[in-house]
Chain A
Amino acid sequence: MGRKTPLYDLHVAQGARMVDFGGWDMPVNYGSQIEEHHHVRRDAGMFDVSHMCVVDLRGVATRGFLSRLVANDVGKLRSTGKALYSCMLNATGGVIDDLIIYFLTESHFRVVVNAGTRDNDLAWMRRCAADWGLDVEIIERTDLAMIAVQGPKARAAVAELLEPQDRERALLLEPFFGLECGAWFVARTGYTGEDGFEVVIPAAEAASVWKALNAAGVASCGLGARDTLRLEAGMNLYGNDMDESRHPLESGLAWTVAFEPTDRDFVGRAALEAIRQSGGSPMKLVGLVLEERGVLRSHQKVIVPGVGEGEVTSGTFSPTLERSIAFARVPRATGETVQVDIRGKLLAARVVKLPFVRHGRALISL
């Protein structure tokens, strides 16, 4: 048996099919994964993401600590509540994890890390703080639950559950900002390509909040739909699209690495600088649309005639596009078309700019 979130019993009671995800027993769907996917694109759906780990970093040294710890620049975090997406790298530039950092106060930053990497992340953070002689309190918030409410009607549904004095402030939040509302933390972030809130609440309140959102018309959705939604939205999944052996420049994450200011010495910087000085990463991550019938899956071989080979890192059937889509790591010189080896057959796929879908609309031509 795996670890359980505060919502486990409710998922089972709602008929969820439970699967192991990073050592956690999580709902993969409550019936139809495709219907759950469409609910989020067209209306509102919610995901239990309590398996992800909220880490509070406290102390006046926190900003300096984070500016060395992660590849994006926390110097961009100047407004209260602002969020920053970043990779945390090892010395060779490999991705230890991708995470979101919220700036709450100068002595309190909140970080959300992946479920499968949480123990490793915490150990790495503690080791870095000790090595650098920085006095940062690193607090794993196992007392909290997290629900991602996503879709065009998601924010209004969450706002109804807030105290009147918080409601308007929450609805005025700009994208990628969060707000403390009493014991709750509400952020306009997500992993679906739709508008919505991610809500961090005391674990004891999780089941009642989930039921109240159900009553407000928000559909219970599983990790299956979360995966098809994030793929359509062009968002990476740790462990599939990048890991400790892959650096951001070959993982579609160059935009998250802040080389400026040049004197900010973050872990992995020297390795990434060396790649840039040698002419850039030989591989890149691209989007693929399968031109024939079939389904792209991770680890399928990609053949780029005259150039070389690559590999699908994440693939699925896109419910919105009704086509198979994928991310693939391919040679930098890859052009507009490739072939993918699906059970011994070579099928044609087109290279496209990510994302595939945003705010319910296809962004690629079919």
Chain B
Amino acid sequence: MSQVLADLRYAKSHEWARSLPDGRIEVGITDHAQHALGDLVFVDVPQVGTALEVGGACAVVESVKAASDVYSPVAGTVVEVNDALSGSPELINEDCYGKGWLYRVQPASSSGLDALLDANAYSAVLAAEGG
């Protein structure tokens, strides 16, 4: 079974978002996503300063098997990216909800996460997909 953390919000396309204490939002891909992709070997994250829209393709994660787009779960401006991923993309496989985060955004509005799925709703999506 894929791990789903109770304190995060999720997109149907298998990204997670976390509200940080300073109001920024951290984004990554879910345990289900990393498991489906297999060993990650390359990550292309957006540049700091990029303006993201909800659902827009903003990053690419590539495993030995395939390349997969990451869709931004929130609107906002990229303020920080996880530089460790360029040398160690496997951090996403090892710790997708922690050291494997992709980028952080300053959200465009304060209600940015309300439209996303909570853990129960995301778990239901996974159950419906058979995963």
Question: Which A residues are within 8 Å of any B CB, using their own CB?
Answer: 17, 28-29, 32-34, 224, 228, 293-295, 297, 316-317, 319, 324, 343
Contact = CB atoms under 8 A, between A and B. Distances in A.
A50 B66 CA distance: 25
B6 interface: no
B84 interface: no
Interface in B7-51: 38-39, 41-42, 44
B42 A29 contact: no
Contacts of B63: 33
Given A224-B65, A228-B64, A293-B86, A317 B41 contact: yes
B31 to A, nearest CB: 14
14 contacts: A29-B38, A33-B39, A33-B64, A33-B65, A34-B41, A34-B64, A224-B38, A224-B64, A224-B65, A294-B42, A295-B41, A297-B67, A317-B42, A319-B64
B3 to A, nearest CB: 16
Question: Secondary structure of the A side of the interface?
Answer: mixed
Contacts of A29: 38
A316 B63 CA distance: 9
Nearest to B38: A33
Contacts of B38: 17, 28-29, 32-33, 224
A294 B65 CA distance: 13
A324 B41 CA distance: 9
Interface residues of B, number: 13
A319 B42 CA distance: 12
Given A33-B39, A228-B64, 7 more contacts: A29-B38, A32-B38, A33-B63, A224-B64, A294-B62, A317-B64, A324-B42
A295 B65 contact: no
A224 B36 CA distance: 13
Contacts of B121: none
B39 A32 contact: yes
A218 to B, nearest CB: 21
Nearest to A36: B39
Contact of B62 (A32, A33, A317): A317
A295 B67 contact: yes
A324 B39 CA distance: 14
A32 B39 CA distance: 6
Nearest to A32: B39
Interface in B47-106: 60, 62-67, 86
Contacts of A34: 39, 41, 64
Contact of A343 (B41, B60, B64): B60
Ranked nearest first, the 6 interchain pairs of A and B with the lowest CB-CB distance are A317-B41, A34-B39, A295-B62, A295-B42, A33-B64, A317-B64
A52 to B, nearest CB: 21
B109 to A, nearest CB: 30
A344 B38 CA distance: 25
A343 B66 CA distance: 13
A261 to B, nearest CB: 44
B35 to A, nearest CB: 8
A34 B63 CA distance: 10
B90 to A, nearest CB: 8
B42 A316 contact: no
